[in-house]
């Protein structure tokens, strides 16, 4: 992974803002979809696709590409927007989000778009899928495989027992090229995570499953890239990065409000949000 210069940080921050604009535009047109999570994860996706990952939009089936497995598929507007801005399909296609016949379904379908590694929607399945992929890669290529696997999870889906079973297996098998990135935004559809089913002490629980654990500001590009670099340098266990994010990040009237978890902005709300995001570009 190349060094992160000041100019690259500025580029990544501007790109993340562009992706947030695309998220809002697509949700307003769709009149359906999730808002808070996609906005909150824009910095993580930007850092991955524009700095960290080995991937090639011209060769989406490249065997040596790194793998991104999105477990919380409902935040797919940020995934779609990032893929479009990376060159995997035209940005204009984002306006077909959730439309009948569109490739951009409300949850990702792996056969519809290049680079989608899995179909997702049912929460709690993504880490098991990622663990299976890493083990299969180890069988094919041994422990010297140069692929990195990134499993992106929500904090709320840690209510699902299947997630913890996957942690058990990954820790037992010491899957060192697996990095789990948790969107720790503290909300789920019914309210705040710690009110519904508390996860803390989160770090201690994950360490107990034999993971290398880091906790970062999920909006700080330098922290994101440094944490991924540290994870790649750990060779005796898998890693977890708890990315503390703000749901609705970038749009002041959406930030930290769980009500925006599963609803799109109206045309009026969207224009207000876009005005705020576009101001950041000046």
By CB atoms closer than 10 A (0-12, 13-18, 19+), residue 130 is buried
Listed in sequence order, the residues at least 6 apart from 208 whose beta carbon sits closer than 8 Å to its beta carbon are none
Q: Does the structure show a pLDDT above 90 at 143?
A: no
Q: With 0.75 as the threshold, say if the pTM is over it.
A: yes
Q: What is the mean pLDDT of residues 116-137?
A: 95
State what percent of residues in the chain have pLDDT above 70.
Answer: 100
Cα separation of 68 and 49, whole Å?
Answer: 10
Query: Collapsing DSSP states into helix, strand and coil, what is residue 100?
Result: coil
> How many Cα neighbours within 13 Å face the side chain of 8?
15
Per-residue tokens: 80 = 């779609």
pLDDT-derived band at 79, boundaries 50, 70, 90 = very high
pLDDT-derived band at 121, boundaries 50, 70, 90 = confident
State residue 8's pLDDT score.
98
The per-residue pLDDT of the chain, averaged, comes to 96
pLDDT-derived band at 282, boundaries 50, 70, 90 = low
Residue that has been written with the tokens 């929500």 in this structure: 154
State what percent of residues in the chain have pLDDT above 90.
Answer: 95
Per-residue tokens: 164 = 């913890």
The CATH topology of domain 6-280 is Rossmann fold (3.40.50)
Q: Does the structure show a pLDDT above 80 at 281?
A: no
- Cα–Cα distances (Å) from 126 to 51, 78, 167, 193, in that order, read 23, 17, 11, 19
The torsion angles phi and psi of 187, rounded to 5 degrees, stand at -130, 155
Exposure class string for 42-74: b at 16+ Cβ within 10 A, else e = bbbbbbbbbbbbebeeeeeeeeebbbbbbbbbb
Cα separation of 183 and 181, whole Å?
Answer: 7
Q: What is the mean pLDDT of residues 217-246?
A: 98
- Rounded to 5°, angle at Cα 199 from 197 and 204: 155
Q: Does the structure show a pLDDT above 90 at 68?
A: yes
Cα separation of 131 and 258, whole Å?
Answer: 30
Q: Does the structure show a pLDDT above 90 at 1?
A: no
User: Structural domain boundaries of the chain?
Assistant: 6-280
C-alpha radius of gyration, the chain, whole number = 18
State residue 200's pLDDT score.
96
Are 265 and 27 in contact by the 8 Å Cβ rule? The answer is: yes
Q: What is the mean pLDDT of residues 63-80?
A: 97
């Amino acid at each position: 992974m190349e060094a992160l210069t000041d100019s690259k940080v500025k580029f990544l921050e501007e790109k993340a803002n562009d992706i947030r604009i695309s998220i809002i535009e697509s949700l307003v047109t769709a009149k359906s979809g999730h808002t808070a999570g996609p906005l909150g994860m824009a910095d993580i996706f930007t850092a991955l696709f524009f700095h960290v990952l080995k991937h090639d939009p011209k060769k989406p089936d490249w065997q040596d590409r790194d793998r991104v497995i999105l477990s919380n598929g409902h935040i797919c507007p940020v995934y779609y927007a990032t893929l479009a801005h990376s060159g995997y399909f035209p940005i204009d296609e984002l306006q077909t989000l959730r439309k009948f016949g569109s490739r951009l379904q409300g949850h990702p379908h792996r056969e519809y778009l290049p680079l989608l590694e899995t179909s997702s929607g049912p929460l709690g399945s993504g880490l098991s899928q990622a663990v299976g992929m890493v083990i299969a890669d180890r069988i094919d290529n041994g422990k010297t495989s140069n692929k990195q696997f990134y499993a992106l999870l929500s904090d709320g889906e840690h209510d699902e027992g299947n997630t913890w079973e996957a942690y058990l297996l990954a820790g037992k098998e010491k899957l060192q090229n697996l990095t789990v990135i948790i969107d720790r935004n503290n909300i789920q559809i019914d309210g705040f995570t710690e009110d519904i089913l508390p996860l803390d002490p989160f770090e201690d629980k994950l360490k107990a499953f034999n993971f290398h654990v880091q906790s970062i500001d999920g909006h700080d590009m330098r922290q994101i890239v440094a944490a991924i670099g540290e994870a790649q340098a750990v060779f005796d266990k898998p890693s977890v990065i708890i990315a503390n994010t703000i749901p609705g990040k970038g749009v002041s009237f959406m930030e930290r409000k769980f009500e925006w978890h599963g609803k799109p902005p109206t045309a009026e709300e969207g224009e207000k949000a876009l005005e705020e995001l576009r101001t950041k570009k000046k």
